[in-house]
Amino acid sequence: MMKKWLGVIFLMLSSIQLQAAIEIYQFEQAEHEQLYKQMIDELRCLVCQNQNLSASNAALAKDLRQQTYEMVTNGKSHAQIVDYMTQRYGDFVLYRPPVKSSTALLWFGPFILLFAGLMVLIITLKNRKQIIDEPLSEQQKTQLKQLLDEDDK
């Protein structure tokens, strides 16, 4: 436990700055600039509290921005830079998790959820259909009439 706390303290000391530095990088090509911006948006600053490289002023973030800049201007692709970073820091450095077996549920989960929701909906509606066929009781009829009358439209 103590160790965890010391850890938190030292990390806080190294990442106390919240706000981004404004650095001037020159790009010859517009595509390079665009890729650079995309990369520093999608890469995580490891020492920070959930910030990407572009938003952080931590020393490591600066170094990694510099590294990214050099790789981009040397013509490296998105995939190559991602490889470089994950080789050193693991998938943790990517804000866009790679699609693989351990993240399958993450990427497909929302659609599984949606599908499951729709299935439940369809089943519920089907069951409802059967109720409709049952004749209404007198009380239900009056209730229904009331409700319909109340309807503003």
* Minimum distance, C-beta of residue 112 to other proteins, in the bound complex (Å): 9
Per rule CB under 8 A, count of chain residues that contact other proteins: 80
* Minimum distance, C-beta of residue 98 to other proteins, in the bound complex (Å): 8
Report the alpha-carbon distance of residue 7 to residue 133 in Å, rounded: 66
* Minimum distance, C-beta of residue 106 to other proteins, in the bound complex (Å): 5
Classify 44 as helix, strand or coil: strand
Binding mask 10-29 for other proteins (x = CB under 8 A): xx-xx-xxxxxxxxxx----
* Minimum distance, C-beta of residue 104 to other proteins, in the bound complex (Å): 11
- Nearest Cα neighbor of 50 from 99, 78, 15, 7 is 15
- In the region spanning residues 30 to 69, those forming contacts with other proteins, defined by CB under 8 A, are 37, 41-42, 44, 46-52, 54-55, 59-60, 63-64, 67
Pick between residue 138 and residue 151 the one whose CB is nearest to other proteins. Answer: 151
Contact status, residue 94 vs residue 82, Cβ threshold 8 Å: yes
* Minimum distance, C-beta of residue 43 to other proteins, in the bound complex (Å): 9
Binding mask 97-136 for other proteins (x = CB under 8 A): x----xx-xxx-xxx-xx--xx-xx--xx--xx-xx----
Pick between residue 73 and residue 91 the one whose CB is nearest to other proteins. Answer: 91
